[in-house]
Structure 1
Amino acid sequence: MAIPHIFVEFIDELRDEAPSLETAQMFGKPCARLAGQKPVLSFHQDSMVFKLGATRVEEIFATHLEAVPFDPSGKGRPFKDWVQVPEGIDTDWHALAREALGLK
Structure 2
Amino acid sequence: MTPDECFDDILDELTPEGVHTATMFGSRALKRETKVFAVVHTEDAVFRLGRGTPAHADALALDGAELFDPSGRGRPMKDWVRVPAEHTDHWLPFAQAALAYLRGA
Provide the TM-score with structure 2 as the length reference: 0.74
Q: Which residue of 2 aligns with 1:27?
A: 25
Runs of 4+ in structure 1 deviating by more than 3 angstroms, as ranges, are none
Structure with greater helix share of residues = 2
Q: Relative to structure 1, is the Cα distance of residues 49 and 69 closer, same or farther in structure 2, using a 3 angstrom cutoff?
A: same
Seq. identity, %? 36
How much does 1:93 deviate? 1.2
The answer to whether the aligner puts 1:38 opposite 2:35 as a matched pair is yes
Q: Relative to structure 1, is the Cα distance of residues 90 and 31 closer, same or farther in structure 2, using a 3 angstrom cutoff?
A: closer
Cα displacement string for residues 25-67 of structure 1 (whole angstroms, at most 9, x for unaligned residues): 11212211112x3111111121111101111324532x22311
Structure showing greater relative contact order (alpha-carbon pairs closer than 8 Å, 6 or more residues apart): 2
Runs of at least 5 residues in structure 2 that lack an aligned partner in the other structure: none
Quick check: 2:59–2:83 contact (8 Å CA) kept in 1?
A: no
Runs of at least 5 residues in structure 1 that lack an aligned partner in the other structure: none
The number of equivalent residue pairs is 96
Please give the alpha-carbon distance, in whole angstroms, between the structure 1 residues aligned to 2:82 and 2:71.
13
Provide the TM-score with structure 1 as the length reference: 0.75
